[in-house]
């Protein structure tokens, strides 16, 4: 049952809050540069960098895995000539995504381990902070590559040691092992320094929004967001030791 999947009811509550809270939208815009209803770390500067990595084609078909309420895909649709596809297991998230009424969009409620798309459907597949929610990473990675058109690209924002166990190096991470099991070449970039800066900004911003969250009756989400940034309390050296990629 979907209700038994990791964090399912927490994400339903999160996207229900995001759909009705003005303060949360304002906080996202200030902390990340755009409101994508971020639960994770999709800062707009990272997304703009990802846009530059996408294949240059007259029409790009882009899938976002764990697309939440679709606002990140809406941003891509505004910046690029593309068709957008997204799935997420949260019904509340997909309800909001569909209500955005974006042209050339396809949003589905779906679970990473079960969802099916035809082979060679997409020029690019993105997964920001969401690829870990699977019981079989090698199988999911295999499926993603079957969905890509020739010379397509898969880009994942991945935090080793968050949902998946922290491993000794980038090449030992569960995602890297899964690429190798599928015979897929990969490269990676350590964005821990930039993520540290983003977390500091997130912490500073959420503290400014405490009274607005309280007024809207969403104080528990203030606590959740603040707690997500606890890793920066001890400063950069400590954060770097615990979070940077070891190559
Ligand atoms: C950490 S959030 C990231 C959301 C968004 N990609 C971002 O960068 O802000 C993880 C997302 O994955 C979704 N998710 C979690 N487990 C899932 C699963 N098994 N299948 C599909 N979506 C899932 C959640 O509802 C949530 O939207």
C-alpha 224/C-alpha 238 separation (Å) is: 22
pLDDT of residue 247: 62
- 55 CA distance to ligand 1 centroid (A)? 24
The pick from 88, 112, 137, 195 for probing ligand 1's pocket by mutation, whose C-beta has the most ligand atoms within 8 angstroms, reads 88
Domain ranges, ordered by start, for the chain: 44-192
Distance CA 74, CA 132 (A): 23
**3-state SS record for 33-81:** CCCCCCCCCCCHHHHHHHHHHCCCCCCEEEEEECCCCCHHHHHHHHHCC
The answer, yes or no, to whether any atom of ligand 1 lies below 6 A from the CB of 128, is yes
> What is the helix (H) or strand (E) element at residue 106, kind and residue range?
strand 105-109
CA nearest 157: which of 124, 126, 193, 116? 126
Q: How far is the CA of 124 from the centre of ligand 1 (A)?
A: 18
Q: What does the pLDDT look like over 161-195, one tens digit per residue?
A: 888 889 999 999 999 999 999 999 999 999 999 99
Distance CA 35, CA 107 (A): 19
CA distance linking residue 221 with residue 112, whole number of Å: 26
What's the pLDDT score for residue 244?
A: 82
What is the per-residue pLDDT for 33? Answer: 97
Q: Answer yes or no: pTM beyond 0.95.
A: yes
Q: Which residues of the chain have pLDDT under 70?
A: 247
Give the C-alpha separation, 14 to 110, whole Å.
Answer: 17
Q: Is 46 in the pocket of ligand 1 (CB under 6 A)?
A: no
- Cα of 243 to ligand 1 centre, how many Å? 21
The ligand 1 atom nearest the CA atom of 110: 21
Residue 118: other Cβ atoms inside 10 A: 8
Distance, in Å, from the CA atom of 236 to the CA atom of 233, rounded to the nearest integer, reads: 9
Beta carbons of 222 and 210 less than 8 angstroms apart: yes
| Domain 44-192 listed as CATH 3.40.50.150 | yes
């Amino acid at each position: 049952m979907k209700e038994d999947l990791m964090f399912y009811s927490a994400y339903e509550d999160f996207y229900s809050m995001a759909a009705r809270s003005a303060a949360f939208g304002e906080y996202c815009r200030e902390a990340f540069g755009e409101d994508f209803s971020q639960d994770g770390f999709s800062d707009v500067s990272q997304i703009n960098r990802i846009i530059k990595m996408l294949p240059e084609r007259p029409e790009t078909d882009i899938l976002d895995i764990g697309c939440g309420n679709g606002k990140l895909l809406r941003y891509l649709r505004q910046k690029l000539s593309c068709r957008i596809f997204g799935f997420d297991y949260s019904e509340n998230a997909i309800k909001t995504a569909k209500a955005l009424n974006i042209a050339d969009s396809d949003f589905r409620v779906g679970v990473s381990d079960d969802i099916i798309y035809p082979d060679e459907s997409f020029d690019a597949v993105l997964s920001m902070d969401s690829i870990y929610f699977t019981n079989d990473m090698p199988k999911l990675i295999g499926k993603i590559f079957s969905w890509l058109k020739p010379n397509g690209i898969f880009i994942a924002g991945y935090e080793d040691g968050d949902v998946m166990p922290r491993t000794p190096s980038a090449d030992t991470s569960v995602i890297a092992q899964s690429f190798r099991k599928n015979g897929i070449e990969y490269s990676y970039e350590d964005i821990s320094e930039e993520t540290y800066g983003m977390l500091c900004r997130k912490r500073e911003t959420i503290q400014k929004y405490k009274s607005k969250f309280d007024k809207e009756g969403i104080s528990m989400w203030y606590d959740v967001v603040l707690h997500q940034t606890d890793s920066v309390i001890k400063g950069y050296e400590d954060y770097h030791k615990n979070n940077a990629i070891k190559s």
